[in-house]
Amino acid sequence: MMKAMLRFWGAVLALALAGSVFAQDPQRITIVVPYPAGGLSDNLARMTATVLSRNMGLPVIVDNRPGANGSIGLQAVAAAKPDGATIGLVPASVMTTNPFLYKDLKVDPVKDVAPLTLALTLPNVLVVNPDKVRAKSFPELVEMLRSQQGASFGSMGAGSSAHLNGEMLQHDARLVLTHVPYKGSAPVMNDLLAGIIPMAFDNLPVALPYIRSGKLRALGVTSLKPSPQAPDVPPISQWLPGFEDNIWFGYVAPNGLSPAMAKRLHDELAKAVRSDEVARAMHERGATVITSTPDEMRRTILDEQKKWSALIKERGIRID
């Protein structure tokens, strides 16, 4: 009889605990995206939100908070109540390079937010205007640039991955280039297509339609292997060993999230990101879905902080 009673009350306690966890679920989830609507991260967030809402049975909205190379959006996540109602989708640069680029950064990407899961990975690609640059391969481009030191390259913004790729190119290939920062990828592509700038680094999904149409020529990707979506574009590391930058996006939450809520959000986000509709759409755009544990994402952040902080210090890059 005593054993039966213990089993009964044990079951009641388990149900109560499960109910308390369920009761803590938010009534609505907001995904903060630290960039304007229409970009790759915004599209990923909105597709994930659709699947997440369907799976969890609650509204999921996207809140675009652009500014300061993603730091404004990260501040919004860090300042939110850690109850699962607010999460953020952030690119690698917000977590790994901003702390070393901005003097008075108001948010610490390691201490103020908690990683949930990686979501997407893609390379950057070095593209040139074929009417302005005759080089048809990366070695030909380097030879041309060495003969005319000071040629310009564009990026989607100071401190962006594309900017740092250009700095890494100058360091590794012993070049002197002029950086032309823009406010986003769209104006970079516009000026590149118009011949105002001769070349640029940008996310492969952004440049891929222009590469496929022949309007731009791709000379190398920043991943160690060719992208499945552009298999004929070789890795730059073939000529500059160690030249690597795998761009990623990941989900984070305010620090202080309960273990139960952190696990629930991780599991639901990973399930949504890996869904056929999200994975297929990202693949078509030139990116690859990838998920991780929170610890794996944290290690990725710390490892890349070491790498980029060294380059930023050596190149003397600063954004005030």
Q: CATH no. for residue 158?
A: 3.40.190.10
Do both 115 and 254 map to the same domain? yes
Are residues 255 and 115 located together in one domain of the fold?
yes
Answer yes or no: is 227 within a domain: yes
Same domain (yes/no): 33, 51: yes
Alpha-carbon distance 49 to 158, whole Å?
A: 30
State whether 35 and 97 are in the same domain: yes
Q: Give yes or no: residues 94 and 168 share one domain.
A: no
Q: What is the pLDDT of residues 84-119, one digit of tens each?
A: 999 999 999 999 999 999 888 889 999 999 999 999
**pLDDT for res 17:** 45
Regarding predicted confidence, which is higher, 38 or 247?
Answer: 247
Nearest of 80, 153, 162 to residue 124 by alpha carbon: 162
Percentage of the chain surpassing pLDDT 90?
78
Q: Please check whether residue 22 lies inside any domain of the structure.
A: no
Last residue of a domain, one of 188, 211, 238: 238
Q: Residues 143, 206: one domain?
A: yes
77 and 40, same structural domain? Answer: yes
CATH, residue 82: 3.40.190.150
Q: In this structure, are 255 and 108 located in the same domain?
A: yes
Helices (H), 87-147: 92-96, 98-101, 138-147
Place of tokens 């440049």: 207
- Provide the whole-model pTM: 0.84
Q: Judge whether 23 lies within some domain.
A: no
pLDDT in tens, 300-313: 999 999 999 999 99
Do 312 and 96 contact (CB within 8 A), yes or no?
Answer: no
Distance CA 118, CA 91 (A): 10
The answer on 223 and 128 residing in a single domain is yes
Domain boundary among 185, 207, 238: 238
Give, for 283, the enclosing helix (H) or strand (E): helix 276-284
DSSP string for residues in 242-260: T---EEEEEEEEETT--HH
Residue 284 lies in a domain: yes
pLDDT above 60: residue 12: no
Res 7: pLDDT: 54
Percent residues over pLDDT 70 in the chain = 92
If you average pLDDT over residues 136-157, what whole number do you get? 93
Residue 13 lies in a domain: no
Q: Per the structure, how many domains does the chain have?
A: 2
Distances (CA, A) of 235 to 96, 199, 224, 242, 288: 22, 17, 6, 11, 17
Residues 206 and 165 in one domain: yes
Tell me, yes or no, whether 55 lies in a domain.
yes
Q: Which band of pLDDT confidence, cut at 50, 70 and 90, is reported for residue 158?
A: confident
Domain boundary among 238, 270, 293: 238
- Tokens 């860090």: give the residue: 78
**Which token pair is 286?**
């030139």
Residue 243 lies in a domain: no
**Mean of pLDDT over the chain:** 90
Residue 10 lies in a domain: no
Domain that holds residue 86: 28-121+248-315
Does 100 share its domain with 205? no
Q: 127 and 233, same structural domain? A: yes
